[in-house]
């Protein structure tokens, strides 16, 4: 048994975790998972520019992987950050990892003042 964690960005590329070509060194398919339909979906997700087709392929991929159970997914944390209502410059809608929470801290502010030129 191995417990393995990863942090995926907002547009994750999970090809290396589930494609059968990544089963052996140096790939990350640690469960040695192999499914031709999953391989085809992963390849389609990588090359398609059509957002609705991509979402549909991701949903199908999720359904197949959940059904096949090549891994047991323990948890997926949510990152929730609360701040004061008057905090300006904080425009982040989605924080995919803890390191992103202070990415644009230099743009945050609490008070403003008018400056006449």
pLDDT per position as a tens digit, 42-87: 999 999 999 999 999 999 999 999 999 999 888 877 777 788 888 8
Q: What is the pLDDT of residues 88-115, one digit of tens each?
A: 888 877 777 777 888 888 999 998 888 8
Residue 10 has pLDDT above 70, yes or no: no
What is this structure's pTM? 0.68
Q: What is the pLDDT of residues 11-53, one digit of tens each?
A: 678 898 899 999 988 888 988 999 999 999 999 999 999 999 9
Q: How far does the chain reach from its first CA to its final CA, in angstroms?
A: 67
Q: What six digits make up the tokens of 22?
A: 């990544």
Up-side HSE of residue 62: CA atoms within 13 Å toward CB? Answer: 7
C-alpha to C-alpha distance for 117 and 114, rounded to whole angstroms:
10
């Amino acid at each position: 048994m191995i417990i393995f964690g990863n942090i995926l960005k907002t547009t994750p590329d999970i090809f290396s975790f589930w494609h059968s070509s990544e089963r052996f060194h140096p790939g990350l398919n640690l469960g040695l998972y192999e499914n031709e339909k999953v391989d085809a979906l992963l390849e389609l997700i990588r090359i398609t520019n059509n957002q609705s087709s991509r979402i549909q392929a991701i949903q199908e991929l999720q359904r197949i992987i959940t059904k096949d159970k090549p891994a047991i997914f323990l948890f997926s944390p949510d990152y929730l950050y609360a701040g004061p209502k008057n905090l300006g410059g904080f425009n982040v809608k989605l924080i995919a990892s803890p390191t992103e929470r202070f990415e644009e801290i230099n743009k945050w502010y609490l008070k403003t003042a008018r400056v006449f030129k």
